[in-house]
Structure 1
Amino acid sequence: MSTTRHASLSRGTSRSGSFRPSPGSIPDAPGVYKFRDAHGRVIYVGKAKSLRSRLSSYFADPAGLHPRTRQMVNTAADVEWTVVTTEVEALQLEYNWIKEFDPRFNVRYRDDKSYPVLAVTLNEEFPRPHVYRGPRKKGVRYFGPYAHAWAIRETLDLLLRVFPARTCSNGVFRRHKQIGRPCLLGYIDKCSAPCVGDVSPERHREIVEQLCDFLAGRTESMVRELEREMAAASESLDFERAARLRDDIGALRRAMEKQAVVFSDGTDADVVAFAHDELEAAVQVFHVRGGRVRGQRGWVVDRDEVPGEQDGEQDVTAVRAQLVEQFLAQFYGEQAELAAEAEGAGPPVPREVLVPALPEDADAIAQWLSGLRGSKVRLRVPRRGDKRALAETVERNAKEALTQHKLRRASDLSSRSAALNELQDLLGLDTAPLRIECIDISHIQGADVVASLVVFEDGIPRKSEYRRFAIKEAAEKGDVASIAEVVRRRFARYLAEAEAPSGTTGTARAAEDETDNPGTTDAPEPPDPKQRKFAYPPNLLVVDGAGPQATAAADVLGDLGITDIAVIGLAKRLEEVWLPGDEFPVILPRTAEALYLLQRVRDEAHRFAIRYHRDKRAKRVRASELDAVPGLGKARKAALIKHFGSVKKLKQARVADIAEVKGFGQATAETVYAALHGTGQDTPRDPQDEDGQQ
């Protein structure tokens, strides 16, 4: 590869085309290009068969550009490109750069983790199937995704009759193991009750593996095997077993009926369809495995431009071909990464991908997909028969999704634009505040002082850039000093990263700053250490408070030499907007969209700060209850909390239970028990009394 970078504009300049490189300096070769803004942040990544032709199209008459492309070019201040040798190499590099830099103007088919899957924890001694949302884990096998969680639960409820695997959480499993009695599912034969030893670990794992085989498509063979067993039981006059097997076969058939049969030849394919207008596109994917629809998912995204497209003159085939190209590269690239992380996940790409139109580089994409799968993948457009009929069904779903999305978002889009324009006018800003950051402080009577920083771009939250701070120097000096400390720490990092060379790798946050736990559904995405998140400043900084807080924030920015960021304070009581140094606040109209937007930003910062404060307070309380145990360090305290789930459950445990925790012996267990109960004697209880107490 070879890389060329064109000289960028001076900071703050945004004239469209003023950084245009001369056409003769751009190679007429395949490659990948990046547009950067005035702060050096990558805002768009694309690939092209001819870099010269593709980049020249961005600097044509702005009136002829797609609105999204026109906004990108106006925002950009620099362009650079990398020449590659093959289209497959360009495809891979484009995907890697989009994933690394998360460009603002690229279409992203993000999996928001709202699609539930059936997860089977094969990495546990007693595996369990359960409904799951979230990132993939090693040693866990996944089936789906499904459109609704209730669909998984209904199917699983039917299958537990035939495959009685445990479905309880680890805490419930340990509790019933301690009391020696199974739960309700064990009594009604929907669980083999491994918690009380009714089945061995080997037999229970065999049951779970049979369940996985059924979910993976071995349905008819299992039904035939059960039918043979039923006939044999009937011949041997074991009518009770024959009746039970008959009911099991019925349960399996009902579970199979929930997955529509679309092909009789055991087709393994993904069927993709799009619906779009000038600005947005909806995509739907049906996952067909073994001839049955095993899962479905969909997205609605902003549309990118099509080369040569003029406003009002859309080439539907060209638009869909480009959407197909973008979708396949991102979706299957992420699926390959998930498959690499999760053991037993199966190939990330099916044998066949059915699409509404073939992109120009269809052969290169098929070659890349084949490399991900490890065997040949067919990429084609269905023309007739059952596959064409299913493609039309998927397209109808995409059209319905786009219609519903437009109905939901019409008022939201207009209100966001109105709010940003109103803020610009009411606050006298040079441009609309496309990026807003808000800081809030949370504490209880000065204890555990923390702060949050939330980010809104284009009027919507950007959770991947949320930050939270543990206040240090200013913790005892009040909210004004705490605001000043957070502003100083945040913008000192901004200056340091902005002055660093563009190729320097920076960490996503300062060592003293803390980010939210990425394991929760409400948490921001984990930061990528390759990106310099603090190097992108806001247009408007909002602090929760009145004039003193706003003045303190502005003074810190002034001391740092930053003069191009507007600062305001938003007081809670009367929703007043305070400008630094002003004696009186600005009163926004109660019905103004600008005020609604500021309230949403402030409330999100408040929620995020309170959540962090509760987390810190809960950790401190949990640790203090175990501080009374002599000789117990942080590692052992954490091991106890992890094993029992809480101090309350730890107090209910016996010495023998505590001794089972890794790193604990009999003597240490007796010490813990004595500290929590005030006695060192593990007094045995009568089994009848123990059952009654439980």
Structure 2
Amino acid sequence: FSDRLRATPTQPGVYLMRDKAGKVLYVGKAASLRNRVRSYFASSANLPPKIVRMVAKVADFEYIVAESESEALILECNLIKEHQPQYNARLKDDKSYPFIKIDVSEDYPQVYITRRIKKDGSKYFGPFANAGSVRRTLSLLKKLFPYRSCTKTITGNDERPCLDFFINRCVGPCIGAVDKAQYAEVIDQVTYFLEGKTNEVVKSIERRMLDASDALEFEKAAALRDQLQAIEKVHEGQKVLHLTSENIDVIAASTGLREAWVEVFFIRQGKLIGRDNFLMAGTQDDEPGNILTAFVKQFYDATPYVPPQILVEHQLDDTAAIEEWLQEKRRGTVRIQVPQRGEKRRLVEMVAENAAQGFAQLKVKQLADTAAMDSAMSELQEALSLPNLPERIECYDISNIQGTNTVGSMVVFENGKPRNDHYRRFKIKTVEGADDYSSMREMLTRRFKRFSKVKANGKNNSDDPANAGAALRKSKSEESWGIAPDLVLIDGGKGHLGAALSVFLDLGINDIPLASLAKENEELFVPHMAEPIVLPRTSQGLYLVQRARDEAHRFAITFHRERRSKKGVESALDLVPGVGPKRKRLLLIKFGSVKGIQAASPEELAAVPGMTLKLARQVKNYV
């Protein structure tokens, strides 16, 4: 490469090392491309073992000149994200880290999960390490702030609100209980809370509570008092540090053979308001400082917020260049420090200890994850942020042809295997025509009303010794209705999911996870998340939900065909008084079809066993 190295420019930029197949092995940034790339091939180069192995595979290299070191740093992050090079320390699955999004351009903004940041004026908070982290945060927000969780168009003219309104979990914009300005105040409180400005939220609610009390609106004042107490309880649980009102991120790592666990603590207004952890891949033989450097660049490339101070456990490479880049992003001063003593040093040590403990727990979990089905359920639990392993999955589907003979199916998978004796079929009774959404609503309403009833009966029986024997004698079929699923899976897209969610809201069900699987791109949708979850094609979790969906579809189609077949046999004969199933069968055996019966004379019909001339003439009148 000597001639090419001499021709390489001395400007800042990014370089890519490729093997003989053209695969990118490594992406790096340099203030001087020529000096940096040449250092890999110098005979006296003192390179880490991992880089020595990489250089041995290099068959070609290329570079991209940048205008500045900051621009080169951004380009490096993007190329690592795109190519996932084997020899770069990189965030695992960093393309899909979730954020909380609040689209303030909406009249009545929602608070939901997204995996894409757009320059659309919305407010983004994150990234979170996984769906579980963000859902725990959303769950807390929903308990503290009464913003809407529905996806309907708000007109203010709805006849009645959902259950959330009656339990003070929503201020009811759908029925006009609040106007845009009042709803915006709730969203402002959510924003302040996510930014760590809890004191401002408390002051706002205290002011509204006193105003309501002065206006003799005591129910409203009481609801605000309860909200205030809940927020203050959370506020008390946040660790208060002797850092005045500083905003700081604290980062430390625990390293293994091929992976590293990076822990981040978020301090806002001098309080520890949250923490998260991330896995870094490709860290073999890397020094802790190299790993933290890679993490800081990739993490802050993804996050919309950069604090004015970042504390790290080890000195970073290119600290000055990273600070310059972060300052451009923040539009303010950013300092990266390795504290040596005092409160900040103790804080870094606490984060490092948490990283070590978290990584140790991860290793134990990985060793225990042996069976494919356990892996599938674990993948689903992680991807969908389920509170429990989905040991019991109930999947629902609707089947009809042009709106006729509409039926629904419920299939059950327990520990990844079909539980046939818990399968259920539903004749749709209240829906006319082809309306899958209404049909799905009817089926789920019937199923979960039955669930609530069995659950209530079981509780009453257990409380009353006189009913204990009856409870033991309950049929297994009846008992199965009272088992709560770990996941309800709907065959369909966002519309079907919305129909199911409306049932859960109406029935007050908020502890059973819900998802839908759209067949076209095998995308999973979950409530309050705009973008779909796309599992890898080789994912065991995807195989499991596909099997459940296909089984529900097969079961629904089979039932639909049975109904259609029975319907096809139904004819004008069913309307003839005195002609029951037995006479009908004998007539069809004799004449082959209704058309054959129409062509026969009354005398020929009367000759059929069980028929009389009077009945034969009646048949002729009807057919």
TM-score by length of structure 2 reads 0.53
Q: Which has the larger radius of gyration?
A: 2
The one of 323, 348, 363 aligned to 1:366: 323
- 1:94 and 2:83 correspond: no
1:161-310 alignment, distance < 5 Å: 164-170=146-152, 180-224=159-203, 226-227=205-206, 245-277=224-256, 279-304=258-283
More helix by share: 2
How far is the alpha carbon of 1:99 from its aligned partner?
3.8
Q: Could you tell me which amino acid in structure 2 is paired with residue 167 of structure 1?
A: S
Taking structure 1 as reference, are residues 410 and 26 closer, same or farther at Cα in structure 2, changes over 3 Å only? farther
Partner of 1:380: 337
Taking structure 1 as reference, are residues 167 and 266 closer, same or farther at Cα in structure 2, changes over 3 Å only? same
CA contact (8 A) 1:516 1:524 kept: no
CA contact (8 A) 1:123 1:139 kept: yes
Distance across 2 between alignment mates of 1:228 and 1:333: 39
1:121-160 alignment, distance < 5 Å: 121-130=103-112, 132=113, 134-136=115-117, 138=120, 140-144=122-126, 148=133, 151-153=136-138, 155-160=140-145
1:68-124 alpha-carbon deviations (Å, 9 max, x no partner): 435433443212345667543442342343344443432222455786654434343
1:49-128 alignment, distance < 5 Å: 49=31, 51=33, 54-55=36-37, 58-59=40-41, 66=48, 68-82=50-64, 87-110=69-92, 112=94, 118-128=100-110
The one of 264, 286, 294 aligned to 1:326: 294
Taking structure 1 as reference, are residues 185 and 610 closer, same or farther at Cα in structure 2, changes over 3 Å only? closer
Distance across 1 between alignment mates of 2:211 and 2:183: 24
| Structure 1: runs of 5 or more not aligned | 1-5, 7-19, 307-313, 340-347, 416-513, 526-599, 618-694
How far is the alpha carbon of 1:63 from its aligned partner?
13
Distance across 2 between alignment mates of 1:292 and 1:522: 36
How far is the alpha carbon of 1:370 from its aligned partner?
0.5
How far is the alpha carbon of 1:363 from its aligned partner?
1.5
Partner of 1:521: 533
How far is the alpha carbon of 1:371 from its aligned partner?
0.6
| Structure 2: runs of 5 or more not aligned | 373-519, 525-530, 555-623
Distance across 1 between alignment mates of 2:7 and 2:216: 88
Taking structure 1 as reference, are residues 246 and 408 closer, same or farther at Cα in structure 2, changes over 3 Å only? closer
How far is the alpha carbon of 1:205 from its aligned partner?
2.7
CA contact (8 A) 1:87 1:361 kept: no
- 1:403 and 2:360 correspond: yes
Partner of 1:595: none
SS of the residue aligned with 1:192?
A: coil
Q: Could you tell me which amino acid in structure 2 is paired with residue 255 of structure 1?
A: V
1:456-471 alignment, distance < 5 Å: none
Taking structure 1 as reference, are residues 262 and 133 closer, same or farther at Cα in structure 2, changes over 3 Å only? farther
1:329-382 alpha-carbon deviations (Å, 9 max, x no partner): 2222222xxx4xxxxxxxx31111111233342212111110111111111112
Moved more, 90-99 or 110-119: 110-119
Distance across 1 between alignment mates of 2:101 and 2:71: 34
How far is the alpha carbon of 1:276 from its aligned partner?
1.8
Distance across 2 between alignment mates of 1:74 and 1:111: 27
1:600-619 alignment, distance < 5 Å: none
Q: Could you tell me which amino acid in structure 1 is paired with residue 349 of structure 2?
A: E
SS of the residue aligned with 1:148?
A: helix
How far is the alpha carbon of 1:287 from its aligned partner?
2.0
1:422-433 alignment, distance < 5 Å: none
Q: Could you tell me which amino acid in structure 1 is paired with residue 27 of structure 2?
A: V
SS of the residue aligned with 1:73?
A: helix
Q: Could you tell me which amino acid in structure 2 is paired with residue 402 of structure 1?
A: F
Taking structure 1 as reference, are residues 328 and 236 closer, same or farther at Cα in structure 2, changes over 3 Å only? closer
How far is the alpha carbon of 1:229 from its aligned partner?
6.4
SS of the residue aligned with 1:209?
A: helix
Partner of 1:434: none
Q: Could you tell me which amino acid in structure 1 is paired with residue 314 of structure 2?
A: A
Q: Identical aligned pairs, as a percentage?
A: 36
Distance across 1 between alignment mates of 2:521 and 2:225: 55
1:109-147 alpha-carbon deviations (Å, 9 max, x no partner): 2455786654434343322335x2533454543445566
Distance across 1 between alignment mates of 2:542 and 2:125: 37
Distance across 2 between alignment mates of 1:177 and 1:233: 24
How far is the alpha carbon of 1:194 from its aligned partner?
1.7
How far is the alpha carbon of 1:260 from its aligned partner?
2.9
Distance across 1 between alignment mates of 2:99 and 2:79: 29
What is the aligned length?
396
